[in-house]
Structure formats: structure tokens, C-alpha cells
């Protein structure tokens, strides 16, 4: 029996076992709180700050038990006769059937606030009355144990963890006073017992057996001092035959225990809170809806990849240490859901640009001191600033956004968005080597490709092609002779210096040596250089034909290898990329982002079948690499798949953060389906794969939901 299926038009992922090959998570979140609930409803609850969402952990895994007529059962582990987890946009629910009773556990994050809301329902199917006890144990995980304690507040019926917020410098005390430092667990049914110490609840040994306090039906009702704390609650019910009993549980963070009664009154109106959360997701799903002949593709395209794109683009991947290429490309995916808010996101990025046009590739978004990759100079920032701004503004349908005034990171001056983009193009277009191609510096799109340009002379073929493409994309909507001349100059330099006979080089290093050539024993052909040579219109005539032919040697069942063969030992020319495990990450694997660039090049040359096949390769529903092999939940695109033959072939990296989803959605909606938004209106220009005759679709343009029937 297959363990999963999409239901309700793709809005529900039904998982019929707790024992999936890896944790199959559903990300539940609002603007200030996130919970990654697995198929067993396990995962961390974290707060998200407003400075691009730094994370602070609040709750850890949850352990739930029932004790029916004196016999104890562990929940969420498959101990019953049947098990089903249903992941939805707004909530996740597990239903377990036992002999004589059924337990349903549901969790969701409300539309606002730093909290998670749980409901545990026990239904009596035995034919006779029964006694049922429910035990819930939430780990309360705020920073360390030293100086922390857990308490029980009798008045509000709340277990909570407290302790003065951690700080280092004497002068930080006043700021620490402002932090929320109470982690609490409370309920709408008065518990008959509680426990606040993790060790007293579980004992010293195996935490996966049924704890002795549950077996005995009695919790210790004691405080915890400087130890691993928890919020364990014990509820007791008498349930008639055919009836049910339930308890709603609220867990979250507060500034003081005195806030909890008000939070209970607001959030334990559970039906209203869940309805509000669901309404938000329904509105988001309305941004577009496409009915293709492929139901599984529809589920991913219309539902699950929207959630992935929204989280990555709106919340900066819940990170503060990031490349601006992630922020800008993720926002491009988010623009398919909320283009105007996506424009706001990228304006925050543009405000870091320098007055001369330079923009740093890696940044700390919370104002903290630069670290690691933020300390070195990547060369690709201008490319993404131009390309993503153009695409996002086009998706808004509002060309006036080019006239928005934005400041600079190193100046009090302000310029229009369009002038910012032109400055970026002029700055990077001037940073070329002796062959006229763009400098590599400490890395381009490929962060670990840090060897060729470290002396400041190496030239990147990908940089050159990608900047040419970005400029030509900009001048297609905002004509500019100076920028056109820059793109033409880059085009000529690349065709004069980077052709290797059957494909374009990866680059020329600081010492003038070409790399990514047919003579190299490893990394002969670099996928991205070929894809962007096509996208930019640099590869023409016979060279275009040869580049397209060269893709064949890079294709495997899960996409296109970033290069081949992979490195098996360190290569000083390429640098850190060659030190990665062979066939993983950027070292010659099917890296989904690179595969998306290849799909874009297929579209650029008008091959819809090749584009669609390439797009489908990266999906976890790809029949050539099914979930039984890739091991991940069929709800997101990972950043790569393991690519060497053997037991691990096709296994997902399981990483939720990838620019691939933005490109996938952009190409599927605007080019394969063909509903393309522009500043001057909507263009319908489908590129259906063979077999698609007609589809129905809807998409919101400038606030208006428009419906379409599109034929091949």
C-alpha cells in the first residue's frame, strides 16, 4: 500500500503511517511564530523576529499518552490499529484508532501571536462507558538550564518556564528586561495534575517507553530548578459509549505569567482561531489556480509549492545570515502569491546598495557583525538585483514601481529603482578582466567555487552570461542604449574568449588558465555557463546546437548535473567546491537550482517538451525518482538529490531552502501555462508539453482575479 496521497484537490497530504522514511514536515507559521510538525506532530516551535526572522526556540517535541480504563498507550507512534496524519495548509491532524476508542490530535499556529494550539479528542467506540486520561508533555527549551526554572501557576492553571533572559555585558541588562522570557503550557480544561521537570516525568533511561507516572496515572505536581524543564499536564474524563471528550492546549511565549489568562481567553476560542488561519491560506491560494491533466502536479503547483515559496520569500528562510541572491530570488517566487509585498521585500535589499552601484553578495540582516561568507566579496549581487526586480515589477503589473525612490547603504542620497538597477549594471559591467569578461572575485552564484578569482584577476563565464541576460531583460522593458552596449560587449568577449569547441568554459583563473574544458579530467562542462549563454542569446547558430547537444551527457533521472565528472580530490583551481563529498551539494550533483536554469534555457529556445521534462525532474513526485527512493515528503523541492550510482542515488538533501522553487513556479505559470504578467497587461502565450490540449486557470492581476481557458 502506498503510504501517501493528495486529497481534496491537493489541499491535504494524507500520510498513512508514522514511520515515513524521513520526517515529513508541515511548516505551520504566522508572522511571528513557526512550528515544523512532522507526520508524528513532532518538531520545534520557534519565535520569528522582525529583523528577517531570527529564531528563538520555545517548545521542543511533544509526547502524548492516553490511559483508558487503567491501561496506558503512547500516542503518535502507530500503537493503534490504524494511523493517518493529514497535513493541510493551516494545520496538521493525526487520527489513531485503537480497540474501543479513537484519538484525534490536531495542531495549528493561529493567524497572529507567538503560540501553537493543540486539540486532543478521545472518542469512545467500545459500546460501554469508560474512563480516559490524557497526558501531554511539552519540552520547554529556552536557552540552557542555568538560571532557569519551571513553575506551576495555580490561578491560571499553567505550567511555565522562566528565568532572566541571558545577556553578557553589564550594559545589556536594560534591553534584556524587554524580552519575553516565559514559555508556558496551559489548557481550557483544568488538569488534575502536572509536572515541570523532564527527568521526573520520563525517568533516567529510555524516553521512548511509556513513563512510569503515566502508567501509574499520577504526576508529581512539583517545581523544577536549574534542569531540563517541561510542561506536562494530566486530564481525566468519564466518557459514555458513543461520546467523546476533548481538551484544547495552548503553548507559547509571554513576557510575564500575568499575560496568560488574557492569552487563554483569546486563543482558546479554537474554532474561530482555526477559521481565521484557514481563511488566510485560502486567500493566498487564490493568487493563481491551474488545472492541468496531472493531479499530483496540480497539488504541488497550486498548494504546496506556494507554501514553500511564501515561507522562503516572506520570511527570508527564517535566517539572518544569507546571500542577497536568496532574498531576491525567493521574493521572485513570493511575487506569484503577493507581488506587491514581494516588491516591499526586495526594496529592503536594494537599500543596502552602495551609491556607486555595488551591492554586497552576503549580508547579516539583523545588524550584527559580518561573519564567514559575509566577510568576503562575491561578485553576483548586481545580476540578481536587476533580474529579480524586473521580474517582480512585471508581476505586479505596475511599471510605476520603477520610479520608487530608495536610498543607499552608504549615502543619504535617493534614486529611483530604475536608476539603482542601471547603476548596478554599469558597476558590474565595468568590473572585467583582461579578456573583457566579468571578474569572479571570491565566488559567483557558486559560493564554494572560490579558487579561480581569489587574486582578483580570474574571469567568470557564468557571471558574464548572467549579467548579459539580466541587462537584456531590463532593457526589454526599459530601453537604454548604454546598457545595451554593455550587454553586447560582454556577449562579444564571451564568444571570443570562452568557447571550448562544444560548450563554453566555466571561466579563466587568475593565472590565465581556462577551466571547465574538454581537457579537464573532472568538471569538464559547467551546466550554468551553458544555460545562461542560451538565456542571454550569446549562444547562436552552430554554437547553440552544440551547447544543447552537450546537455545530454549531464542528464540523469533527477535533473542535470552541475558539472561532470565530479571531483574526487581537492582541485586548487576550483577551490572549496572540490572538497565537498562527490555527487552531493555543488560537487557534480543534480543541483535543482542549476536544473531550473537549464529549464529556463529550454523555454528561451522554444522547446516546451524539454522544459517540462526538466522541470518535472526536480519534483519529489517524479516517477523516475519516487518518494520510496528520494525519501522526502512530496510537498517541496529540495536543493539537490544525491547523484552517484549506488544505494543513495536519488536521495533528497531534505533542505527546504532553495531558489529552485521560485524559478519552477515562475516558469510553470508564466511560460508553460503561459499567463504572463507585464506592466502593460496580461499576455497569454502557452508552451504546453505534448499531450496537454486544454487547461483552465485563474490568476490575480492588480487585485483582480481573472479566469482563463487556454488551448494548445
Q: Which of left, alpha, beta for 247 (phi over 0: left; psi -120 to 50: alpha)?
A: beta
In our burial notation (b when 16+ CB lie closer than 10 A, e otherwise), range 547-570 reads bbebbeebbbebbbbbbbebbeee
Instruction: With respect to residue 300, please indicate whether it lies within any of the assigned structural domains.
Output: no
Question: Do residues 129 and 168 both lie within one domain?
Answer: yes
Instruction: With respect to residue 439, please indicate whether it lies within any of the assigned structural domains.
Output: no
Q: Cβ of 518: how many Cβ atoms within 10 Å?
A: 12
Question: Do residues 655 and 685 both lie within one domain?
Answer: no
Contacts of 71 (CB under 8 A, 6+ apart): none
Spatial separation of the C-alpha atoms in residues 43 and 49, rounded to whole Å = 19
Contact 685, 670 (CB under 8 A): no
Q: What is the pLDDT, as a whole number, of residue 255?
A: 86
Contact 611, 559 (CB under 8 A): no
Q: What is the pLDDT of residues 498-510, one digit of tens each?
A: 999 999 999 999 9
| pLDDT tier, 53 (very low <50, low <70, confident <90, very high otherwise) | very low
Domain boundary among 282, 309, 326: 282
H helices of 268-338, in order, are 270-285, 295-299, 305-314, 324-334
Contacts of 16 (CB under 8 A, 6+ apart): 1, 3, 4, 82, 83, 84
- Return phi, psi of residue 682, to 5°: -100, 135
Contact 570, 590 (CB under 8 A): no
Residue 8, SS3?
helix
Q: What is the pLDDT, as a whole number, of residue 146?
A: 59
Q: What is the pLDDT of residues 351-368, one digit of tens each?
A: 999 999 999 999 998 888
Residues 614-632, mean pLDDT to the nearest whole number: 97
144 has pLDDT over 60 = no
Domain boundary among 257, 282, 307: 282
Q: What is the pLDDT of residues 408-448, one digit of tens each?
A: 999 999 999 999 999 999 999 999 999 999 999 999 998 89
Residues forming a β-bridge with 661: none
121 has pLDDT over 80 = yes
Q: What is the pLDDT, as a whole number, of residue 50?
A: 60
CATH of the domain at 526: 1.50.10.10
Instruction: With respect to residue 291, please indicate whether it lies within any of the assigned structural domains.
Output: no
Contacts of 598 (CB under 8 A, 6+ apart): 527, 530, 531, 551, 559, 560, 614
295 included as an active-site residue: no
- Over pLDDT 70: what percentage of the chain? 97
Instruction: With respect to residue 310, please indicate whether it lies within any of the assigned structural domains.
Output: no
Instruction: With respect to residue 181, please indicate whether it lies within any of the assigned structural domains.
Output: yes
Contacts of 298 (CB under 8 A, 6+ apart): 9, 10, 290, 291, 292
Q: Give percent helix, percent strand, percent coil of the chain, each to the nearest 5.
A: 35, 30, 40
Q: What is the pLDDT of residues 520-578, one digit of tens each?
A: 999 999 999 999 999 999 999 999 999 999 999 999 999 999 999 999 999 999 999 99
54 has pLDDT over 60 = no
Question: Do residues 229 and 257 both lie within one domain?
Answer: yes
Residue-wise DSSP of 560-576: EBSEESPPSS--TTTGG
Q: What is the pLDDT of residues 317-351, one digit of tens each?
A: 888 888 999 999 999 999 999 999 999 999 999 99
Question: Do residues 575 and 678 both lie within one domain?
Answer: no
Question: Do residues 608 and 681 both lie within one domain?
Answer: no
Q: What is the pLDDT, as a whole number, of residue 178?
A: 75
Question: Do residues 657 and 684 both lie within one domain?
Answer: no
C-alpha cell at 680: 502593460
Contacts of 344 (CB under 8 A, 6+ apart): none
Question: Do residues 648 and 710 both lie within one domain?
Answer: no
284 has pLDDT over 50 = yes
208 has pLDDT over 90 = no
Structurally, the chain folds into a number of domains equal to 3
Instruction: With respect to residue 468, please indicate whether it lies within any of the assigned structural domains.
Output: no
Q: What is the 3-state secondary structure (H, E, C) of 176-212?
A: HCCCCCEEEEEECCCCCEEEEEHHHHHCCCCCCCCCH
Tell me the residue range of the domain where 575 lies.
498-672
Spatial separation of the C-alpha atoms in residues 534 and 127, rounded to whole Å = 70
Residues 684-697, mean pLDDT to the nearest whole number: 96
Residues 224-251, mean pLDDT to the nearest whole number: 94
Residues 133-142, mean pLDDT to the nearest whole number: 88
Domain boundary among 226, 248, 282: 282
C-alpha cell at 462: 557564468
Question: Do residues 553 and 611 both lie within one domain?
Answer: yes
Instruction: With respect to residue 648, please indicate whether it lies within any of the assigned structural domains.
Output: yes
Residues forming a β-bridge with 697: 290, 708
Q: What is the pLDDT of residues 289-322, one digit of tens each?
A: 999 999 999 999 999 999 999 999 999 988 888 8
Question: Do residues 176 and 204 both lie within one domain?
Answer: yes
Computed over every residue of the chain, the mean pLDDT equals 94
Question: Do residues 107 and 252 both lie within one domain?
Answer: yes
Question: Do residues 118 and 211 both lie within one domain?
Answer: yes
For residue 457, give the nearest of 435, 477, 476 by alpha carbon.
435
Burial category of 40 from C-beta neighbours within 10 Å (exposed 0-12, middle 13-18, buried 19 and up): buried
Instruction: With respect to residue 369, please indicate whether it lies within any of the assigned structural domains.
Output: no
Question: Do residues 712 and 577 both lie within one domain?
Answer: no
Contact 588, 565 (CB under 8 A): yes
Choosing from 415, 447, 509, 520, the catalytic residue is: 447
Amino acid at each position: 500500500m502506498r503510504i501517501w496521497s493528495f486529497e481534496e484537490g491537493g489541499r491535504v497530504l494524507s500520510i498513512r503511517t508514522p514511520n515515513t522514511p524521513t520526517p515529513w514536515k508541515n511548516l505551520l507559521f504566522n508572522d511571528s511564530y513557526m512550528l515544523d510538525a512532522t507526520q508524528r506532530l513532532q518538531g520545534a516551535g520557534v519565535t520569528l523576529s522582525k529583523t528577517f526572522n531570527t529564531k528563538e526556540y520555545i517548545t521542543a517535541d511533544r509526547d502524548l499518552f492516553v490511559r483508558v480504563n487503567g491501561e496506558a498507550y503512547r500516542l503518535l507512534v502507530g500503537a493503534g490499529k490504524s494511523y493517518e496524519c493529514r497535513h493541510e495548509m493551516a494545520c496538521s491532524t493525526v487520527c489513531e484508532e485503537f480497540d474501543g476508542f479513537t484519538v484525534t490530535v490536531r495542531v495549528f499556529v493561529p493567524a497572529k501571536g507567538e503560540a501553537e494550539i493543540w486539540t486532543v479528542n478521545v472518542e469512545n467506540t467500545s459500546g460501554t462507558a469508560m474512563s480516559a486520561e490524557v497526558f501531554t508533555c511539552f519540552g520547554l527549551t529556552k536557552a540552557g538550564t542555568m538560571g532557569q526554572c519551571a513553575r506551576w501557576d495555580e490561578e491560571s492553571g499553567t505550567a511555565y518556564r522562566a528565568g532572566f533572559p541571558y545577556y553578557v555585558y553589564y550594559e545589556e541588562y536594560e534591553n534584556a528586561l524587554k524580552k519575553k522570557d516565559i514559555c508556558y503550557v496551559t489548557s481550557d480544561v483544568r488538569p488534575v495534575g502536572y509536572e515541570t521537570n523532564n527527568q521526573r516525568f520520563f525517568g533516567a533511561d529510555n524516553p521512548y517507553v511509556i513513563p512510569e507516572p503515566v502508567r501509574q496515572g499520577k504526576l508529581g505536581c512539583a517545581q523544577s530548578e536549574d534542569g531540563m524543564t517541561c510542561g506536562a499536564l494530566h486530564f481525566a474524563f468519564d466518557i459514555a459509549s458513543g461520546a467523546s471528550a476533548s481538551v484544547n492546549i495552548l503553548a507559547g511565549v509571554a513576557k510575564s505569567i500575568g499575560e496568560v489568562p488574557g492569552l487563554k481567553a483569546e486563543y482558546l476560542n479554537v474554532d474561530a482561531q482555526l477559521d481565521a488561519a484557514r481563511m488566510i491560506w485560502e486567500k493566498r491560494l487564490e493568487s493563481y489556480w491551474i488545472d492541468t491533466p496531472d493531479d499530483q502536479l496540480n497539488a504541488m503547483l497550486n498548494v504546496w509549492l506556494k507554501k514553500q515559496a511564501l515561507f522562503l520569500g516572506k520570511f527570508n528562510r527564517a535566517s539572518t545570515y544569507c546571500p542577497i541572491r536568496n532574498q531576491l530570488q525567493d521574493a521572485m517566487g513570493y511575487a506569484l502569491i503577493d507581488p506587491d509585498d514581494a516588491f516591499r521585500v526586495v526594496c529592503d535589499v536594494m537599500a543596502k546598495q552602495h551609491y556607486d552601484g555595488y551591492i554586497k553578495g552576503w549580508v547579516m540582516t539583523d545588524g550584527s557583525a559580518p561573519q564567514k561568507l559575509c566577510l568576503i566579496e562575491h561578485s553576483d549581487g548586481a545580476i540578481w538585483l536587476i533580474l529579480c526586480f524586473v521580474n517582480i515589477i512585471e508581476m505586479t503589473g505596475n511599471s510605476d514601481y520603477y520610479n520608487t525612490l530608495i536610498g543607499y547603504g552608504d549615502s543619504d542620497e535617493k534614486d529611483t529603482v530604475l536608476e539603482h538597477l542601471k547603476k548596478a549594471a554599469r558597476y558590474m559591467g565595468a568590473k572585467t578582466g583582461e579578456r573583457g569578461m566579468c571578474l569572479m572575485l571570491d565566488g559567483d552564484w557558486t559560493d564554494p567555487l572560490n579558487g579561480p578569482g581569489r587574486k582578483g584577476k580570474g574571469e567568470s563565464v557564468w557571471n558574464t552570461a548572467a549579467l548579459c541576460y539580466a541587462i537584456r531583460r531590463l532593457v526589454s522593458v526599459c530601453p537604454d542604449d548604454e546598457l545595451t552596449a554593455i550587454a553586447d560587449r560582454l556577449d562579444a568577449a564571451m564568444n571570443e574568449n570562452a568557447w571550448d569547441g562544444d560548450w563554453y568554459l566555466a571561466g579563466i583563473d587568475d593565472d590565465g588558465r581556462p577551466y571547465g574544458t574538454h581537457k579537464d579530467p573532472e568538471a569538464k562542462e559547467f551546466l550554468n555557463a551553458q544555460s545562461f549563454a542560451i538565456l542571454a542569446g550569446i549562444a547562436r547558430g552552430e554554437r547553440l546546437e552544440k551547447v544543447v547537444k552537450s546537455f545530454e551527457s549531464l542528464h540523469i533521472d533527477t535533473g542535470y548535473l552541475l558539472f561532470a565528472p565530479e571531483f574526487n580530490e581537492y582541485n586548487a583551481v576550483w577551490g572549496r567546491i572540490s572538497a565537498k563529498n562527490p555527487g552531493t551539494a555543488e560537487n557534480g550533483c543534480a543541483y535543482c537550482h542549476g536544473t531550473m536554469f537549464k529549464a529556463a534555457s529550454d523555454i528561451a529556445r522554444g522547446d516546451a517538451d524539454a522544459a517540462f521534462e526538466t522541470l518535472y525532474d526536480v519534483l519529489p513526485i517524479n516517477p523516475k525518482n519516487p518518494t520510496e527512493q528520494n525519501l522526502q515528503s512530496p510537498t517541496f523541492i529540495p536543493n539537490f538529490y544525491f547523484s552517484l550510482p549506488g544505494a543513495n542515488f536519488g536521495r533528497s538533501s531534505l533542505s527546504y531552502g532553495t531558489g529552485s522553487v521560485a524559478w519552477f513556479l515562475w516558469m510553470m505559470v508564466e511560460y508553460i501555462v503561459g499567463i504572463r504578467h507585464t506592466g502593460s497587461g496580461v499576455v497569454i502565450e502557452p508552451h504546453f508539453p505534448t499531450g496537454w490540449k486544454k487547461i483552465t486557470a485563474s490568476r490575480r492581476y492588480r487585485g483582480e482575479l481573472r479566469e482563463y481557458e487556454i488551448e494548445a
